[in-house]
């Protein structure tokens, strides 16, 4: 199973203004192996407080049955997905988190890692901003893929489009 070099990942993704995380897809319960500073800023947690944990701790006591089911299914099937979660920061405040997940598979098609991008959404979120954000995520994932030619992502353009669609849908509800 190919392993990402986390030092290299950090060099490339630490500067991103998009909130990004990577979970190990080969271990039980998808522990986080990388979070970037933007993700720390959004959540209020330090890197050390998040590595090794499943990201669901951000849900705290908040109701998230529907988005959890969507993400659970996608992780089971190794597919990309998005869902809006209610999350709680370290300081106790809550936010709506549009989570996009994208599987990274090895050459044999086995799930190796899952990249997560988190996007704060609210009533003022504009579809155009969402689309720009989606395209940015695609670029970040491309950077990540440069790191290890054995890893490949599928449907990267679809990811950007589906993300924009998800935000629009969310805005209409
Ligand atoms: C890479 C990655 C990032 C994730 N980021 C978040 C997040 O920011 N907030 C959240 O509530 N859940 C996040 N999740 C989803 C949860 O970790 C978990 O998969 C989800 O709650 C469904 O599983 P469960 O029903 O067993 O909790 C993330 C998952 C992955 C794989």
Q: Is 30 within the bounds of a domain?
A: yes
Give 54 Cα–ligand 1 centroid separation in angstroms: 7
Query: Which mutation among 99, 104, 113, 153 tests ligand 1's pocket best, with the greatest number of atoms within 8 A of CB?
Result: 99
21 lines ligand 1 (CB under 6 A): yes
Q: Is 159 within the bounds of a domain?
A: yes
Q: Is the pLDDT of residue 165 over 70?
A: no
What is the DSSP secondary structure assignment for residue 58, as one 8-state letter? G
Q: Is 1 within the bounds of a domain?
A: no
What are φ and ψ of residue 169, in 5° steps?
A: -60, -45
- By CB atoms closer than 10 A (0-12, 13-18, 19+), residue 18 is middle
Atom nearest to 87 CA in ligand 1:
11
Q: Could you give the CA distance from residue 80 to residue 121 in angstroms, rounded to a whole number?
A: 19
Residue 126 pLDDT grade (very low, low, confident, very high; cuts 50, 70, 90):
low
Q: Could you give the CA distance from residue 21 to residue 9 in angstroms, rounded to a whole number?
A: 11
> Where is pLDDT greater, at 138 or 35?
35
Q: Choose the weakest-confidence range: 21-30, 91-100, 127-136.
A: 127-136
Residues 144-155 have pLDDT tens digits of 655 544 344 444
99 lines ligand 1 (CB under 6 A): yes
Q: Is 58 within the bounds of a domain?
A: yes
54 lines ligand 1 (CB under 6 A): yes
Residues 58-89 have pLDDT tens digits of 999 999 999 999 999 999 998 888 888 999 99
- What pLDDT is stored for residue 66 in this prediction? 93
CB atoms under 10 Å from CB of 151, counted, come to 19
By residue range, what is the domain housing residue 130? Answer: 6-172
Q: Is 36 within the bounds of a domain?
A: yes
Q: Residue 84's domain is classified under what CATH number?
A: 3.30.450.20
Atom nearest to 30 CA in ligand 1:
31
The residue whose CA is least distant from atom 22 of ligand 1 is 68
Query: Which mutation among 25, 31, 55 tests ligand 1's pocket best, with the greatest number of atoms within 8 A of CB?
Result: 55
Containing 117, the helix (H) or strand (E) segment is strand 111-120
Q: Could you give the CA distance from residue 152 to residue 16 in angstroms, rounded to a whole number?
A: 20
Residues 28-66 have pLDDT tens digits of 999 999 999 999 999 999 999 999 999 999 999 999 999
How many CA atoms does the CB half-sphere of 27 hold within 13 Å?
Answer: 11
The count of structural domains within the chain is 1
The residue whose CA is least distant from atom 3 of ligand 1 is 116
**Mean pLDDT across the chain, nearest whole number?**
79
């Amino acid at each position: 199973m190919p392993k990402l070099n986390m030092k290299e990942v950090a060099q490339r993704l630490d500067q991103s203004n998009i909130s990004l995380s990577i979970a190990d897809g080969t271990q039980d319960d998808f522990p986080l192996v990388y979070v970037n500073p933007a993700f720390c800023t959004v959540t209020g947690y330090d890197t050390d407080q998040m590595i090794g944990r499943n990201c669901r701790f951000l849900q705290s006591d908040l109701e998230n049955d529907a988005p959890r089911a969507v993400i659970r299914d996608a992780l089971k099937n190794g597919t990309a997905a998005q869902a809006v979660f209610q999350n709680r920061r370290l300081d106790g405040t809550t936010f709506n988190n549009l989570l996009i997940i994208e599987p990274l598979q090895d050459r044999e098609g086995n799930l190796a890692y899952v990249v997560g991008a988190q996007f704060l959404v609210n009533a003022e979120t504009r579809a155009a901003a969402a689309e720009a954000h989606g395209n940015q995520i695609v670029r970040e994932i491309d950077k990540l893929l440069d790191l290890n030619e054995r890893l490949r992502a599928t449907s990267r353009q679809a990811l950007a489009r589906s993300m924009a669609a998800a935000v629009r849908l969310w805005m209409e509800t």
